[in-house]
């Protein structure tokens, strides 16, 4: 059998889309766009300066769908866009957001997308339980950077930073992980069903 007859392995959902560089550029832009849309959902939970947003779900789904490299690039693009355009939560933009209380969470998006992409490239996003675990760990990467940043950027004690920047978001994070854990494996099942029809 010739090598051209062997289909290249599809590591992540983005690999279903044909193409190469143009495809990757479009998908990276789409990942940044998805995070921008997620930022439009912002619920404030005083006294925390960090709102509940749809961003974290968008970030980990982008990482799962795009893979580690493209997922990280999508979030780097999002960070760069936010320096000039009001794409952060509450229409924020500029370096003052990056260096402010929520800046660590934005930087954490890059790490989270990369981590979830790494999991997805190893097939952990194709089964709900494994996908759920991957989404939880990826979100923890965001908090792992966001909470120390929050502590450094404000006059909060470590206890206050952990409570206001992590503890109050645990339930929401688990719900988002559950949504991702159901959505991405479902997308894989849909792709496999389509491929089965094409072969028939």
Residue 1 has a pLDDT of: 37
The answer as to whether 2 is a domain residue is no
Whether 64 contacts 125, CB under 8 Å:
yes
Residue 185 has a pLDDT of: 94
Handedness of CA 48, 52, 58, 63 (dihedral sign): positive
Residue 200 has a pLDDT of: 53
CA distances from 17 to 53, 61, 188 (A): 29, 16, 13
Whether 62 contacts 114, CB under 8 Å:
no
93 φ, ψ (degrees, to nearest 5) = -160, 165
Residue 23 has a pLDDT of: 85
The two structure tokens encoding residue 24: 């990757």
Residue 191 has a pLDDT of: 86
Q: Mind listing the pLDDT tens digit for each residue in 2-40? A: 333 334 456 788 777 766 778 889 999 999 999 999 999
Q: Mind listing the pLDDT tens digit for each residue in 97-152? A: 999 999 999 999 999 999 999 999 999 999 999 999 999 999 999 999 999 999 99
The answer as to whether 173 is a domain residue is yes
Give how many domains the chain has, as a whole number.
Answer: 1
Q: What is the pTM of this model?
A: 0.88
The two structure tokens encoding residue 129: 């339980």
Q: Mind listing the pLDDT tens digit for each residue in 55-114? A: 999 999 999 999 999 999 999 999 999 999 999 999 999 999 999 999 999 999 999 999
Q: Domain of 185?
A: 20-194
Nearest-angstrom CA–CA distance, 6 and 148: 48
Average pLDDT rounded to a whole number, residues 154-178 = 96
Whether residue 164 has pLDDT greater than 70: yes
Residue 184 has a pLDDT of: 94
The answer as to whether 86 is a domain residue is yes
Q: Which CATH number covers residue 31? A: 1.10.1760.20
The answer as to whether 1 is a domain residue is no
Residue 8 has a pLDDT of: 45
The answer as to whether 90 is a domain residue is yes
Residue 18 has a pLDDT of: 66
The answer as to whether 111 is a domain residue is yes
The two structure tokens encoding residue 156: 């909060």
Beta-bridge mates of residue 91: none
The answer as to whether 15 is a domain residue is no
Q: What angle do CA 12, 18, 23 make, to 5 degrees?
A: 85
The answer as to whether 5 is a domain residue is no
């Amino acid at each position: 059998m010739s090598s051209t007859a062997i289909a290249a392995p599809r590591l992540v959902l983005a690999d279903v889309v044909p193409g190469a560089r143009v495809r990757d550029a479009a998908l990276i832009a789409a990942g940044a766009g998805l995070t921008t849309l997620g930022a439009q959902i912002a619920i404030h939970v005083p006294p925390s300066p960090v709102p509940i947003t749809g961003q974290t779900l968008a970030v980990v789904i982008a990482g799962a769908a795009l893979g580690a490299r493209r997922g990280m690039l999508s979030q780097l693009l999002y960070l760069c866009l936010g320096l000039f355009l009001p794409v952060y939560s509450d229409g924020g933009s500029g370096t003052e957001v990056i260096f402010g209380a929520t800046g660590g969470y934005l930087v954490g998006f890059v790490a989270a997308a990369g981590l979830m992409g790494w999991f997805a490239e190893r097939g952990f996003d194709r089964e709900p339980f494994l996908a759920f675990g991957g989404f939880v760990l990826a979100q923890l990467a965001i908090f792992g950077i966001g909470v120390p940043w929050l502590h450094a950027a404000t006059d909060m004690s470590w206890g206050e930073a952990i409570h206001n920047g992590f503890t109050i978001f645990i339930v929401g994070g688990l719900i988002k992980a559950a949504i991702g854990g159901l959505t991405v494996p479902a997308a894989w099942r849909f792709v496999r069903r389509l491929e089965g029809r094409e072969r028939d």
